[in-house]
């Protein structure tokens, strides 16, 4: 029987041991997620005949269930035991994954997707309830000044595991598809059973982490949840975060669908792209964490977000080349810079929420943040599914032609259809969201231009490890400078009619 009683205070040794165990739980959770989510989940759903709407619904479940995080506050307030809530809900969340693995042997393909949605709803529901308890618990364990360093280290370990496991699984699934296609569905089922089992083991590892005692105010839950909304600065963070996740989730769930159905790319290639992204994320996440601790999380987001928007725009041009290798090169490039940018963005979004939440009310603030953002991030993929269906029979082709006595050549500049429209819409909305970030205030904030200069200087001294970031983080500034120069030249070359020519000669 697990003893999950909190302690009044923890020794330094207990904190160090606990943080190591939380990395172990993170590795188990990452293995579980890799085995049962991402491209493998989408491929399994498509194999069983899932529609665009159902794919969007599956993508919305992880965030939609965050609406139920109020239950976490109620449980923590009632029992004053974050450890018991987190561990108990983690166990309840991971059992349905084993049930998904058994599902193909019990129901027909016609009913499989609906049953899958129900079971994954239960999985994400209890995972969402566990989340705020875990967040509040770990906030008390990790010193604020090392938040970036700890989570970047934890993230680098989990992403490395993701890369290795993804390679093995991709090769396995492709081998089965080529030699035993009738066993493909069974292969996915086995992955879910293994994933659920590993996840349960992770919950037992988490149960060994000691918890410092905390007490939540005995107030009405709705009154508690209004408290963060009355905090002007935290409210601005909520507005930015909600707009950002809404923009991204319109498109991101459909990247894999686009590559599988429209480009007919093998699953092993898709996993390979993901691995490329993860590798570059691993290479850069510790640097992002160091700069986030030294300067500010807001600054890191302001640097990484424009780079990610550029990646979204680049998705609109995937598929326009007649040679498949050209499309593959573009996809590799997109995934490289997606990995670099999201490493900093995701780390900083987590840390800025932890930083702006008062210690005594952290669970309330973080739960409020998760609930508000979940509304937008769960609506986005459902809307994306509807839009993908709407644009299925619609397309926009932008071409350029070259005519000469010897050559007549037509160049496709852009091809928008179905999912490409989603990528363009997401890029526009993400650009608008970044403007909202300017309203958020963070203690210790340093202007991004100054941080960029420091980063470029540091990276030039260590090109071997970080040669890719140095130029890319300043692309928005280069573009703006170029536009300003061109505008200045035009004014000089074409002065306004009422200005005397002698003034410019």
Confidence of residue 425 (pLDDT cuts 50, 70, 90): very high
Domains of the chain, each with CATH number or no CATH: 12-390 (1.20.1250.20)
Helix axis angle for 109-141 and 38-47, nearest 10°, is 160
d(CA 484, CA 494): 15
pLDDT tens digits, 259-310: 988 888 888 888 889 889 988 988 888 888 887 777 778 888 888 899 999 9
Write b or e for each residue in 156-169: b if 16 or more Cβ atoms lie within 10 A of its Cβ, otherwise e.
bbbbbbbbebbeeb
**H-helix or E-strand containing 137?**
helix 109-141
- For residues 208 and 82, give the distance between their C-alpha atoms in angstroms, rounded to a whole number: 13
Residue 453 has pLDDT above 90, yes or no: no
* pLDDT recorded at residue 457: 56
For the residues 171-181, what does the mean pLDDT come to? 91
pTM: 0.70
Mean per-residue pLDDT of the chain: 82
Share of the chain above pLDDT 70, in %: 86
| pLDDT over threshold 90, residue 363 | no
How sure is the predictor about 359, in pLDDT bands with cuts at 50, 70 and 90? confident
Q: Report which of residues 66 and 95 the model is more confident about.
A: 95
Kindly tell me if the per-residue pLDDT of 405 is higher than 80: yes
More confidently predicted of 35 and 363: 35
Distances (CA, A) of 352 to 163, 265, 426: 27, 38, 23
How distant, in Å, are the alpha carbons of 108, 244, 305, 418, 430 from that of 248? 34, 6, 11, 17, 7
Read off the pLDDT band of 464 (50, 70, 90): very low
- Which tokens belong to 338? 């997606």
Band of the pLDDT at 395, cuts 50, 70, 90? confident
Q: Quick check: 271 and 177 in contact, CB under 8 A? A: no
Query: Is pLDDT above 60 for 491?
Result: no
More confident residue, 465 or 155: 155
C-alpha distances out from residue 215 to 28, 80, 89, 362, 364, Å = 29, 6, 20, 11, 12
Is the pLDDT score of 209 beyond 80?
Answer: yes
- Tell me the C-alpha distance between 32 and 201, whole Å: 10
Residue 432 pLDDT > 50 = yes
């Amino acid at each position: 029987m697990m003893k999950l009683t909190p302690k009044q205070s923890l020794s330094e040794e207990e904190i160090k041991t606990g943080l190591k165990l939380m990395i172990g739980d993170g590795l188990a959770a990452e293995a579980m997620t890799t085995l049962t989510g991402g491209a493998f989940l989408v491929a399994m759903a498509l194999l069983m005949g899932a529609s665009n709407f159902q794919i969007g619904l599956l993508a919305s479940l992880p965030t939609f269930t965050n609406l139920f995080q109020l239950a976490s506050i109620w449980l923590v307030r009632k029992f004053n035991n974050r450890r018991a809530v987190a561990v108990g809900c983690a166990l309840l969340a991971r059992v349905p994954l084993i049930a998904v693995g058994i599902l193909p042997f019990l129901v027909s393909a016609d009913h499989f997707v609906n049953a899958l949605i129900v079971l994954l709803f239960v999985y994400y529901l209890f995972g969402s309830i566990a989340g705020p308890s875990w967040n509040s618990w770990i906030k008390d364990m990790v010193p604020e000044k090392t938040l970036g360093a700890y989570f970047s280290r934890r993230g680098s370990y989990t992403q490395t595991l993701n890369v290795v496991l993804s390679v093995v699984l991709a090769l396995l699934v492709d081998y089965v598809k080529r030699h035993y296609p009738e066993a493909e569905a069974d292969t996915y089922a086995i992955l879910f059973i293994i994933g659920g089992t590993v996840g349960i083991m992770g919950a037992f590892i988490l149960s060994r982490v000691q918890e410092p005692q905390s007490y939540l105010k005995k107030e009405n839950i709705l009154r508690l949840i209004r408290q963060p909304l009355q905090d002007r600065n935290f409210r601005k963070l909520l507005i930015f975060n909600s707009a950002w996740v809404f923009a991204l989730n319109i498109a991101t769930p459909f990247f894999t669908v686009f590559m599988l159905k429209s480009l007919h790319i093998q699953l092993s290639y898709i996993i390979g792209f993901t691995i490329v992204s993860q590798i570059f994320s691993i290479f850069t996440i510790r640097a992002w964490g160091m700069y986030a601790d030294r300067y500010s999380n807001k600054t890191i987001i302001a640097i990484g977000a424009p780079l990610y928007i550029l990646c979204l725009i680049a998705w609109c041009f995937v598929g326009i080349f007649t040679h498949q290798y050209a499309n593959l090169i573009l996809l590799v490039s997109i995934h490289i810079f997606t990995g670099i940018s999201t490493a900093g963005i995701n780390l900083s979004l987590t840390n800025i929420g932890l930083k702006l939440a008062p210690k005594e009310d952290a669970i309330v603030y973080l739960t409020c943040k998760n609930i508000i953002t979940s509304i937008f991030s769960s609506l986005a993929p459902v809307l994306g599914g509807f839009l993908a269906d709407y644009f299925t029979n619609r397309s926009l082709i932008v071409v350029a032609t070259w005519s000469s006595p010897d050559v007549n050549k037509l160049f496709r500049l852009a091809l928008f259809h179905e999912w490409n429209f989603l990528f363009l819409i997401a890029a526009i909305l993400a650009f608008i969201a970044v403007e909202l970030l300017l309203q958020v205030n963070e203690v210790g904030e340093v202007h991004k231009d100054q941080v960029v200069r420091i980063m470029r200087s540091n990276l030039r001294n260590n090109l071997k490890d970080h040669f890719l970031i140095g130029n890319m983080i300043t692309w928005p500034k280069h573009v703006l400078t170029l536009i300003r120069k061109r505008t200045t030249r035009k004014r000089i070359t074409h002065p306004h009619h009422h200005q005397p020519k002698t003034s410019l000669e």
